[in-house]
């Protein structure tokens, strides 16, 4: 027996959950399938904090920021939960684009101001500043552990099917839609749908590689690199310090590689800090979840030098994945009956409800995504 559906969203992380929410708001029949259980820690969408860093100057991202701030508020009102703590974001260090960022944000109605390093150090004494400081008060921290269930709960209330522990093991593309073979504890099931929305994170290339049919060979996307990133929560020693979210650009030769350092306070866990996109390449199905010793030691050295409000020797290591495109721009596009949302490159979570809206647009044929996100670029 074959089950007939309208839209199947494959992957129940942040972007898939937001797509299900956005489609359900339009009255569309949608089924979300996720190979793991709720709140799993195997991918990229777990944990209690993500920075909503407004530090962009490209027009497409600035427009998405403005829309995203409004959509996060809508989601908070609809769910009755606080999802964004507006602590502000402070970006500092060696970055030639800070002036462009400030100008672009101000034009979009998003606040941005430059501060003297000494003034910044007085306001946020847990962080050391030595160069330009850009303060963006509208930024803050989002809570994935609260946001993902909210998206799914609200989608389900409008009739969406939410199916965890359900893996796609067969994927056929046809002129009139897709045919999927699903595997779960209940057994194997075949479903057909008008379209599939693929939001499978680090499993995207594996999933698309299973696609069969005359149009399957036409799915061409930028190469995706999956890395295991290894931030840490450091114990706070200065209990009176105020912590904004932060992004620091220490310079191209710092610790032997160029990488910004991001960070934020995670209530009850300390100050989270990590390198951006420099972890080892991994297969998402075969990870050790262990921190790479040289990276971890360098992160501790960073904390000693730049985070005077924490104890660099008292920490808990974390493991998550990035799925990165060569240009770090997202993939948001439709190829035949398949909508693809992938490559969020460690900076996509802040845009989650906007990406859900874009994926819903692509699934319903409402409008295309911005050109920079095209799969064929």
- pLDDT tens for 41-50 read 999 999 999 9
Which residues are CB-neighbours of 257 under 8 A, at least 6 positions away? Answer: 278
Q: Residue 230's pLDDT is what?
A: 92
Q: State how far the Cα of 131 lies from the Cα of 173, in Å rounded to an integer.
A: 53
What is the reported pLDDT for 2?
75
Give 251's pLDDT tier (boundaries 50, 70, 90): confident
- The residues that bridge with 10 in the sheet, in sequence order, are 33, 198
pLDDT, residue 357, reads 98
Structural domains present in the chain: 2-46+146-223+327-373 (3.50.50.60), 50-142+225-324 (3.30.9.10)
pLDDT of 1 higher than 60: no
Per-residue model confidence (pLDDT) at position 212: 80
Q: What is the mean pLDDT of residues 141-167?
A: 98
User: For position 351, what pLDDT does the model report?
Assistant: 98
Q: Measured between alpha carbons, how far is 221 from 353 in angstroms, rounded to an integer? A: 23
pLDDT of residue 256: 60
Residue pair 108/55 in contact by the 8 Å Cβ criterion: no
- pTM, two decimal places: 0.96
Average confidence (pLDDT) over 176-191: 95
pLDDT of residue 255 exceeding 80, the answer is no
Q: What percent of the chain has pLDDT over 90?
A: 90
349-367: per-residue pLDDT in tens? 999 999 999 999 999 999 9
Q: Residue 293's CB: how many other CB atoms inside 10 A?
A: 9
Average pLDDT taken over every residue of the chain: 95
Q: What is the band of 259 on the pLDDT scale with cuts at 50, 70, 90?
A: confident
Confidence of residue 214 (pLDDT cuts 50, 70, 90): low
């Amino acid at each position: 027996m074959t089950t007939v559906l309208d839209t199947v969203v494959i992957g129940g992380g942040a972007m898939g959950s937001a797509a299900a929410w956005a489609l359900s708001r339009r009255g569309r029949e949608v089924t979300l399938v996720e190979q793991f259980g709720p709140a799993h820690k195997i991918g990229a969408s777990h944990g209690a904090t993500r920075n909503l860093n407004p530090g962009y100057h490209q027009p497409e991202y600035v427009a998405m920021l403005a829309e995203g701030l409004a959509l996060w508020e809508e989601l908070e009102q609809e769910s009755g939960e606080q999802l964004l703590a507006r602590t502000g974001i402070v970006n500092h260090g060696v970055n030639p684009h800070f002036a462009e960022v400030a100008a672009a944000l101000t034009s979009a109605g998003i606040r941005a101001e430059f501060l003297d390093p000494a003034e910044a150090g007085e306001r946020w004494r847990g962080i050391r500043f030595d160069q330009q400081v850009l303060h963006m008060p509208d930024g803050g921290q989002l809570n994935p552990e609260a946001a993902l269930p909210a998206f799914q709960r609200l989608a389900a209330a409008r009739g969406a099917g939410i199916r965890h522990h359900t893996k796609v093991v067969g994927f056929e593309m046809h002129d009139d839609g897709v045919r999927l073979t699903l595997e779960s504890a209940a057994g194997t099931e075949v479903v057909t749908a008008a379209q599939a929305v693929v939001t499978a994170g680090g499993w995207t290339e594996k999933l698309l590689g299973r696609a069969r049919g005359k149009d399957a060979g036409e799915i061409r996307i930028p190469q995706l690199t999956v890395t295991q990133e290894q931030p840490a929560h450091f114990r706070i020693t200065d209990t009176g310090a105020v912590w904004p979210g932060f992004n620091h650009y220490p310079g191209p030769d710092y610790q032997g590689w160029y990488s910004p350092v991001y960070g934020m306070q995670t209530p009850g866990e300390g100050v989270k800090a990590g390198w951006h996109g420099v972890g080892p390449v991994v297969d998402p199905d075969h990870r050790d979840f262990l921190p790479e010793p040289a990276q971890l030691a360098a992160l501790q050295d960073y904390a000693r030098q730049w985070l005077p409000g924490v104890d660099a020797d008292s920490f808990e290591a974390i493991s998550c994945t990035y799925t990165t495109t060569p240009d770090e721009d997202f993939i948001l596009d439709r190829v035949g009956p398949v909508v693809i949302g992938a490559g969020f490159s460690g900076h996509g979570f802040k845009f989650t409800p906007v990406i859900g809206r874009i994926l819903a647009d692509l699934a319903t044929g409402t409008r295309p995504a911005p050109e920079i996100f095209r799969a064929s670029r």
